[in-house]
Structure 1
């Protein structure tokens, strides 16, 4: 067997240099064939397979575009302040402070400190969810027969645990997540209808308003009624940009958003960042 010896294993590994799979990172990101930004500005370029995860630390002002390539991606998202992970995405505050449970262009992703972690600056999907969170081990085991990360039907929370560990975070650090590209609507009785996706090619673009650690799990939405574990590739592209500043329409869109941006700017200014 070619890999039965150290020399054989090394030769086999080196022979893979330059080979590419359909879902993997581009390193360097600048080698991505169709960058959506100025040359040299791309900092993250990756295709995440269905049932897989990724993570990255992004600088303030970075724009992050997620694209549902096949129409069945579901990007479950968590955000943490990069050097202060105890400040993290708070889905409840994101919903209640903005008086809206539905994500879309112009919405802000808030921490429990009343500060903006990211803003949604573009959206061609309109099918997102801030209510249901991601799937768990017990749910996927009951639904698909297994939910472990190495199985054919990994649960979102199990993948988040792996991504978290690679950023010095533990399972107790994982709050409820947001999901993009598979939506739900709330009925009058408080139950939810699964509305599915907007189809292949839909995208959403976020702007980091602080330095953030991004965790992404691409797994089926827990309300997806299909019997089969259905999850198609997610394209992830990020490039350097500028944070939202006073005078930007997003800053002034609502009194609540204005206050959140003021809280963020005051905090960053005290640290010599803004």
Structure 2
């Protein structure tokens, strides 16, 4: 179909209606062909070297899936409407006495409150220590790290996602990453452990209204010379926040205190 004229371009564009490719959002999310435990509110496949973002309501569950075994979801979380309360990787590690993410871990802000909890994990290959890739590092490794290049850096993509939510580069703290693992050796050095393989998934539960930013790019410690990043599936559905009586609420004294801090804060504002 010719696209040299405005009419031709319009007809070509309209001819794409209803077509789905390997990486795109599904609108409405309820049309997602995969099964979900609740009503889907976000359904998208994020290509390697791309990003996404969404505002999610408290109680929403978010499942990330590494479809082909080489996705790496670099994640940032912000309390919606209060962007100064954001994911703090240092407190997430320090308060829980554990540097490794997995089911039962809480993702904390620097206010001692829970932003999200990890309710399920079949991967075990995540990282709370290294953050994401930068323009300078990707330019040195791959020849380019700009967002429009074939090897975009994670921080550059997160800047774009942030800007679409009223956030600036200074609002970007260190991120967490899912599906490419890092361990600390006895001598204190880092060891890249790679992927758990295709189909690995992690499910997060929003414990506050959240702004979610995700960049799907190679982990900065990935030793492979080629820029390797495969699709990430993102699916979210309506559910309920963690409440007293849930095993996760009382799993640790530190976690219980963080949940109490969260509910106390939200209750005072009529949000819980």
- Confirm or deny a common fold (TM above 0.5): yes
Partner of 1:211: 209
Q: Deviation of residue 273 (structure 1)?
A: 1.3
Q: Deviations for 1:215-236, whole angstroms, at most 9, x for unmatched residues?
A: 0000000000000100110000
Contact 1:57 1:82 in 2 (8 A): yes
Q: Deviation of residue 21 (structure 1)?
A: 1.0
CA-atom RMSD in angstroms: 0.9
Matched, 1:17 2:12: no
Q: Deviation of residue 5 (structure 1)?
A: 2.5
CA distance in 1, matches of 2:175, 2:107: 11
Matched residue SS, 2:84? strand
Q: Deviation of residue 267 (structure 1)?
A: 0.3
CA distance in 1, matches of 2:35, 2:162: 28
Contact 1:35 1:42 in 2 (8 A): no
Contact 1:43 1:240 in 2 (8 A): yes
- My pick for the range that moved more, 72-81 or 10-19, is 10-19
Matched, 1:181 2:179: yes
| TM-score under structure 2 length normalisation | 0.98
Contact 1:75 1:179 in 2 (8 A): yes
CA distance in 2, matches of 1:43, 1:79: 17
Q: Deviation of residue 34 (structure 1)?
A: 1.9
Q: Deviation of residue 10 (structure 1)?
A: 1.5
Q: Deviation of residue 13 (structure 1)?
A: 1.3
Q: Deviation of residue 2 (structure 1)?
A: 2.8
Unaligned 5+ residue runs, structure 2? none
Q: Deviation of residue 3 (structure 1)?
A: 2.6
Partner of 1:157: 155
| TM-score under structure 1 length normalisation | 0.98
- My pick for the range that moved more, 139-148 or 182-191, is 182-191
CA distance in 2, matches of 1:216, 1:85: 16
Corresponding residue to 1:71 among 69, 72, 79:
69
